[in-house]
């Protein structure tokens, strides 16, 4: 599997050189607090949408440093620190799978003219356009070649901000190409990531539709949380996979740990600190999880591949009893769709943990390994 997919899987387990490289203001400043009252997010912490007379501002936040890192304005802006975005965006470069998922949810796939790499596509519509030549792979933001970007003539480039000092960003700005930093991956609440749909709604004049879609997602998700609160699973869950000699697992405050908490399932490492990942030795994993009943997110498509990683995994009860699950068989679809459909991800985990209560449901992302 390619380097990008491996990085994405590790990110999920934990799970600027933009227009301005320095923080613009602090989250706690009076100016920020006054403006932020315009719209309150329900779950997301890394953006704010602010209404001004005649314009809408999107602030991208560094929640750890409590700083506003980027400001974007749709409409005229008197603020020199805010980047003006066209009110009609028709040609978009979407460099992350989650961006594609958001745009698909809003029926905006036709606006995408460039992606990072078609090897990682799930959308059949975009695959067709690659074959037709109306959509191009132009490389990720870490590339130094700007020609592919210029050739597709985008109104905006949406990127994830993993490397806000990538040299290509300065080249894009010099060429007059606007970039937009998306921090959806920093959200630790599943509904927080999905709430970034509102940002896309503002950018693409689909605000009402985005609000309605998010409200439906939220309602379905919370109904599931309420339902499974009445259930009880005796099983403990292991989450993660082995890369080299290191087993990467989500920390206790991570996105995946929150999903498991909402599914009313005990996660083996739920008391670990942090919102990212923890690194475990193989010995620790085997010792801690011999009797763990369920294993999720292993980077393999069948049990033989799991044992090829390390034959000692045969000692785990979850493998012996065929309770190992992965999204690796449709990994591209997982990245495109799971962030915007956390209710389906939660439902999958509930079905795995409570098979009798969820008999009528089918798995959307996961597959039991044979």
Q: Tell me the pLDDT tens digit for each residue of 257-266.
A: 999 999 999 9
Is the pLDDT reported for residue 214 higher than 70?
Answer: yes
pLDDT at 266: 96
pLDDT at 34: 46
Q: How confident is the model at residue 63 (pLDDT cuts 50, 70, 90)?
A: confident
DSSP state of 53: T
**How far apart (Å, rounded) are the C-alpha atoms in residues 84 and 23?**
17
pLDDT at 165: 79
β-pair type (156-159, 92-94):
parallel
Residues 184/98, Cβ–Cβ less than 8 Å:
yes
pLDDT at 27: 52
**How far apart (Å, rounded) are the C-alpha atoms in residues 249 and 241?**
7
| Percentage of residues in the chain having pLDDT higher than 90 | 79
pLDDT at 36: 41
80 vs 274, higher pLDDT:
274
Q: How confident is the model at residue 167 (pLDDT cuts 50, 70, 90)?
A: confident
Q: How confident is the model at residue 233 (pLDDT cuts 50, 70, 90)?
A: confident
pLDDT at 14: 41
Sequence-separated (6 or more) residues with CB below 8 Å from residue 147: none
**How far apart (Å, rounded) are the C-alpha atoms in residues 176 and 109?**
24
Is the pLDDT reported for residue 24 higher than 60?
Answer: no
The fold adopted by the segment(s) 229-368 is: Rossmann fold (3.40.50)
240, with CB counted inside 10 A (0-12, 13-18, 19+), is buried
Return the domain boundaries, the chain.
Answer: 229-368
Nearest partner of 267 among 241, 293, 242, judged by Cα: 293
**How far apart (Å, rounded) are the C-alpha atoms in residues 212 and 194?**
12
pLDDT at 30: 41
Q: Tell me the average pLDDT across 165-171.
A: 88
pLDDT at 11: 46
Q: How far is CA 311 from the centre of its chain?
A: 32
pLDDT at 7: 42
Mean of all residue pLDDT scores within the chain:
90
Give pLDDT tens digits for 124-146.
999 999 999 999 999 988 877 89
Which segment of 64-68, 244-248, 272-276 scores lowest on mean pLDDT? 64-68
């Amino acid at each position: 599997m390619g380097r990008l997919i491996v990085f994405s899987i590790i990110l999920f387990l934990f799970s600027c050189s933009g227009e301005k490289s320095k923080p613009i203001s602090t989250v706690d400043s009076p100016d920020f607090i006054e403006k932020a009252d315009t719209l309150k997010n329900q779950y997301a912490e890394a953006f704010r949408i602010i209404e001004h007379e005649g314009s809408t501002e999107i602030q991208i936040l560094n929640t750890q440093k409590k700083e506003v890192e980027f400001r974007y304005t749709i409409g005229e802006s008197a603020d020199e620190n805010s980047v003006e975005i066209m009110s009609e965006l028709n040609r978009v470069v979407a460099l992350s799978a989650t961006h594609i998922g958001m745009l698909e949810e809003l029926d905006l796939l036709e606006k995408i003219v460039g992606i990072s790499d078609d090897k990682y596509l799930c959308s059949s519509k975009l695959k067709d356009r690659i074959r037709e030549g109306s959509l191009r792979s132009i490389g990720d933001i870490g590339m130094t070649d700007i020609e592919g970007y210029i050739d597709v003539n985008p109104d905006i480039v949406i990127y994830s901000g993993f490397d806000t000092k990538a040299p290509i960003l300065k080249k894009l700005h010099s060429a007059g190409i606007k970039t937009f930093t998306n921090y959806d991956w920093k959200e630790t609440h599943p509904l927080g990531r999905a709430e970034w749909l509102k940002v896309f709604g503002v950018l693409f004049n689909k605000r009402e539709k985005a609000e309605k879609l998010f409200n439906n997602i939220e309602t379905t998700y919370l109904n599931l949380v309420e339902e499974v609160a009445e259930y009880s699973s005796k099983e403990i869950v292991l989450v993660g996979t082995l890369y080299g000699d290191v087993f990467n697992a989500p920390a206790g405050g991570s996105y995946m740990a929150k999903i498991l908490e909402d599914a009313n399932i005990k996660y083996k490492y739920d008391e670990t600190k942090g919102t990212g990942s923890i690194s475990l030795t193989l010995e620790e994993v085997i010792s801690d999880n011999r009797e763990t009943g369920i294993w999720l997110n292993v980077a393999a498509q069948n049990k033989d591949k799991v044992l090829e990683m390390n034959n000692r995994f045969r000692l785990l009860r979850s493998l012996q009893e065929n309770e190992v699950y992965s999204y690796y068989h449709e990994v591209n679809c997982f990245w495109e769709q799971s962030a915007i459909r956390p209710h389906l991800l939660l439902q999958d985990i509930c079905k795995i943990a409570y098979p009798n209560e969820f008999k009528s449901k089918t798995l959307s992302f996961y597959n039991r390994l044979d």
